[in-house]
Chains A and B, each alone.
Chain A
Amino acid sequence: MASPRRTSLLQRATCSILCLGALLPLGVSAQPVVRQQFRAHQLTGESIAEVVCSDSSSRFATVTSDGSAKVWSANGTLLHRYVPERVAMLFNGRFLGPDDKGFVVAAYNGYASLWSSPTAAPRTVGPSLSGTTDVQPIPDRQRLVTSSDDGFIRVWSADGRLITRIAQPGVTRHLAYSPSLQLVAATQDIGTVTLLSPDGVVQGRIETGQGRLNDVVFAPNQPLLLAGGFDGTLKLWRLADGGRTATLLHTIPAPEDAGWLEGVAINVAGMIATVYDDGVLRLWTQQGTAVAHLPLANHLHLFSVCFAPDQRTLRTIAQDGTVSVVVLP
């Protein structure tokens, strides 16, 4: 069902894009359009929400603190709803494998729950000693990596056996995986990114100096890592030598009064999308030039953003569970 705020938000976003158009650098012709907004989850007050794009299809998923994960078709039709047997707030989730048939979620109660198909019974992995903050499948290695409030990065076999765990300072909060680099990135709230092999061997560590990191992603076709969070900045790192060397390429400054950077995504063209506490989706070139500025969430926090495989469709999710679909030209 469409959000009651749909019209005003669409109008506001369009206005913002047009107003910004005069400020865009020559040669940059991004004119993103807000295509759809709908309330995927009825969230109130303090909440947690992530939107997850499939790597291989137009499906996407929403995972929230209401304890459910939902898989949606490209046009916003609900396809599946996943609720773990042990009910708990969910922190994040991922599609399992390239066919999108399975899904896995990370939960506040310390478990990851994994469905091999929408009709299969869930299998639990864990528990951690505290909340499981993220879960990252390694499909080509039949592994699963989890992170936790207890500070551990854990590597699990496909059948749920713990292979190894690596203690880290503070909370380990977010995970990302690059199949091409064969690297897992794990953020710590102390402001570090730990780079590991899929077997859990630490390859390198980046001291970002950004404080708590709310998101980390690899570029799909370049050896680039992007991370941001507490201080609102976004840093782009070039990785080399199997993750043992990281060179800072750019720092995109914190937009004024935007609050925390909550989510980041990058497509194959190097277009970067960021979302913040102020409810604004911002687009940047890889060199850090601002391209677009779209208020989407009426000053509610935007928590997460992802690119669909077409590299043009962006999806965001707000604090109240509203999904926005934004299309680049």
Chain B
Amino acid sequence: MAVIPLQHRVARHVAGLAALLAACALPPSARAALRVQTSWQASPVLLQYVEFAPDGAELVTADGGGVGQLWRTDGQSVAVLKGQRAPMFRAHFSGDGQQLVTSGYDGSAWVWSRSGQRLQRLQLHRAATADVFLLPATPQATAGLVSGSDDGTVVLRNRQGELLWSAQFSGTTRQLRPNASATLIAASSDNGQIHLVTPAADRRSATVRSFQTPHGRINLLRFSPDQRQVLAAGTDGTVSLSALNGTLQRSLKVTDVGWARGMSFCGATPQASLLTVGDDGTLRQWSPQGRLLASLDLSPKVPLTAVDCSRNGRQAAVVNAAGQLWLVAVTAP
């Protein structure tokens, strides 16, 4: 081993201390950061998805073996949600956090209590259910669901399973995302189109406006915090941000190799930073203007498949294709 002269070692320490002091002296707005808090093996197989409960106390994972799992943030398992045909692509909390819904490759959706008790089994499609969300009751509509499928449909139902409205598209309808008020639902087809579905008050009819993104298959959809943009993670390795009229406003290259898999805003303000994941295994943090703020190489050899920020924006859950889950502290600028 090479011996480093004492003066060089002192100089190195001084330089390090100076850098640390300089960092501390920076205004808080300049100190975006990502730091791993904890990590655990959440599945023996590919994790498809992760989502925080609205209260941030628990999170749910969905895996390629058809198993959903509820976790506390300390890594303790709360409940296992299984019985549907694998793979399970998605598991989502209801808006109030009291229930969950999981997708089945057998065309089903199962509804669960927050404690993991199965409440309802619905057969929605005669092909794989790719995504499904619970929709809240409104003055003119009872609580319901929206689902997308390999059969290419987007379907609105009430909680009894009655079909209220559906639309047929070409290719898989792979991703769905209701906006915060569930008055607008974004759906993606594997040909790269996004369909913005505006249900009528009673959800028995809807209008659809479709536009083409720069992507082919889309791996995740989200709305921006102000609900005025729709974000799509594509197999071209980019995340696009489009206005609701379909105008492409920004495109971020979020992975050095392969697919962009997911993104999540950390917070609900216009200043919220955006986290992205992709096949290169790196978690990246972006400013609202699209400037790279920080990155964390979590999984250099295995694709990161999903990311979700807690509602307060201070913590992110990230999962990979080997079943690993990380909780990451997020410092926003």
A associates with B? yes
Measured between beta carbons, the chain A residues less than 8 angstroms from B169 are 151, 169-170
B183 within 8 A of A: no
Residue among A149, A188, A210 with the highest chain B CB neighbour number at 10 A: A149
A-contact 0/1 string along B124-165, CB 8 Å cutoff: 011110000000000000000000011111000000000000
Bound complex: CA of A212 vs CA of B123, how far in Å? 14
Q: Closest Cβ of chain B: how far from A92's Cβ, in Å?
A: 16
Q: Which residue of A lies closest to B66 (CB)?
A: A46
Known: A46-B45, A169-B151, A171-B152. A129 touches B217 (CB 8 A): yes
Q: Closest Cβ of chain B: how far from A230's Cβ, in Å?
A: 5
A131 within 8 A of B: yes
- Further contacts, 4 of them, CB under 8 A, given A170-B173, A188-B152: A150-B170, A170-B169, A212-B107, A230-B126
Q: Closest Cβ of chain A: how far from B63's Cβ, in Å?
A: 9
Measured between beta carbons, the chain A residues less than 8 angstroms from B235 are 110, 130
Measured between beta carbons, the chain B residues less than 8 angstroms from A170 are 127, 149-153, 168-173
Chain A, 158-181, CB within 8 A of any chain B CB? 167-171
Q: Closest Cβ of chain A: how far from B99's Cβ, in Å?
A: 26
Bound complex: CA of A190 vs CA of B153, how far in Å? 9
Measured between beta carbons, the chain A residues less than 8 angstroms from B262 are none
Instruction: State whether B64 touches A171 (Cβ < 8 A).
Output: no
Chain A, 165-204, CB within 8 A of any chain B CB? 167-171, 188-191
Q: Closest Cβ of chain A: how far from B21's Cβ, in Å?
A: 47
A76 within 8 A of B: no
Cross-interface CB contact of A211 among B65, B107, B170, B216, cutoff 8 Å: B107
Instruction: State whether A190 touches B127 (Cβ < 8 A).
Output: yes
Bound complex: CA of A231 vs CA of B216, how far in Å? 30
A-contact 0/1 string along B178-220, CB 8 Å cutoff: 0000000000011110000000000000000000000011000
Bound complex: CA of A127 vs CA of B216, how far in Å? 10
A128 within 8 A of B: yes
Instruction: State whether A231 touches B191 (Cβ < 8 A).
Output: no
Bound complex: CA of A150 vs CA of B126, how far in Å? 18
Q: Closest Cβ of chain A: how far from B154's Cβ, in Å?
A: 11
Bound complex: CA of A151 vs CA of B127, how far in Å? 14
Q: Which residue of A lies closest to B86 (CB)?
A: A46
B267 within 8 A of A: no
Instruction: State whether A110 touches B216 (Cβ < 8 A).
Output: yes
B87 within 8 A of A: yes
Q: Would you mind naming 14 contact pairs between A and B with Cβ atoms under 8 Å apart?
A: A45-B45, A129-B216, A130-B191, A150-B171, A150-B172, A167-B171, A169-B152, A170-B169, A170-B170, A170-B172, A171-B127, A171-B151, A189-B172, A212-B107
Instruction: State whether B65 touches A46 (Cβ < 8 A).
Output: yes
Instruction: State whether B150 touches A171 (Cβ < 8 A).
Output: yes
Known: A130-B235, A189-B149. A150 touches B45 (CB 8 A): no
Q: How many residues from B make CB contacts under 8 Å with A?
A: 31
Instruction: State whether A150 touches B127 (Cβ < 8 A).
Output: no
Q: How many residues from A make CB contacts under 8 Å with B?
A: 27
Known: A149-B217, A190-B151. A212 touches B127 (CB 8 A): yes
Number of A-B contacts (CB under 8 A): 119
Measured between beta carbons, the chain B residues less than 8 angstroms from A127 are 216
Known: A46-B86, A150-B171, A190-B151. A129 touches B190 (CB 8 A): yes
Q: Closest Cβ of chain B: how far from A108's Cβ, in Å?
A: 10
Bound complex: CA of A152 vs CA of B171, how far in Å? 7
Known: A189-B149, A212-B150. A167 touches B170 (CB 8 A): yes
- Which 9 interchain pairs have the tightest Cβ spacing? A211-B126, A170-B152, A129-B216, A151-B171, A151-B170, A130-B190, A130-B217, A212-B127, A189-B127
Residues of A within 8 A of B (CB): 45-46, 110, 127-131, 148-152, 167-171, 188-191, 210-212, 230-231
Q: Which residue of B lies closest to A88 (CB)?
A: B258
Instruction: State whether B191 touches A189 (Cβ < 8 A).
Output: no
Cross-interface CB contact of A151 among B87, B126, B128, B152, cutoff 8 Å: B152
Instruction: State whether B126 touches A191 (Cβ < 8 A).
Output: yes
Measured between beta carbons, the chain B residues less than 8 angstroms from A230 are 107, 126-127
Q: Closest Cβ of chain A: how far from B140's Cβ, in Å?
A: 30
Known: A45-B64, A148-B171. A130 touches B127 (CB 8 A): no
Instruction: State whether B168 touches A150 (Cβ < 8 A).
Output: no
Measured between beta carbons, the chain A residues less than 8 angstroms from B151 are 169-171, 188-191, 211-212
Bound complex: CA of A171 vs CA of B170, how far in Å? 7
Bound complex: CA of A298 vs CA of B247, how far in Å? 54
Q: Closest Cβ of chain A: how far from B151's Cβ, in Å?
A: 4
Bound complex: CA of A95 vs CA of B187, how far in Å? 38
Bound complex: CA of A152 vs CA of B233, how far in Å? 21
Q: Closest Cβ of chain A: how far from B176's Cβ, in Å?
A: 15
Measured between beta carbons, the chain A residues less than 8 angstroms from B45 are 45-46
Cross-interface CB contact of B170 among A45, A168, A231, cutoff 8 Å: A168
Measured between beta carbons, the chain A residues less than 8 angstroms from B150 are 149, 170-171, 189, 212
Q: Closest Cβ of chain B: how far from A59's Cβ, in Å?
A: 32
Q: Which residue of B lies closest to A170 (CB)?
A: B152
Measured between beta carbons, the chain A residues less than 8 angstroms from B128 are 189, 212
Cross-interface CB contact of B189 among A151, A189, A212, cutoff 8 Å: A151
Q: Which residue of B lies closest to A231 (CB)?
A: B126
Measured between beta carbons, the chain A residues less than 8 angstroms from B125 are 211
Instruction: State whether B64 touches A130 (Cβ < 8 A).
Output: no
Bound complex: CA of A312 vs CA of B130, how far in Å? 40
Instruction: State whether A171 touches B126 (Cβ < 8 A).
Output: no
A-contact 0/1 string along B208-247, CB 8 Å cutoff: 0000000011000000000000000001000000000000
Instruction: State whether A130 touches B65 (Cβ < 8 A).
Output: no
Measured between beta carbons, the chain B residues less than 8 angstroms from A46 are 45, 64-66, 86-87
Measured between beta carbons, the chain A residues less than 8 angstroms from B44 are 45
Instruction: State whether B191 touches A151 (Cβ < 8 A).
Output: yes
Instruction: State whether B86 touches A130 (Cβ < 8 A).
Output: no
Q: Closest Cβ of chain A: how far from B256's Cβ, in Å?
A: 16
Measured between beta carbons, the chain A residues less than 8 angstroms from B152 are 151, 169-171, 188-190
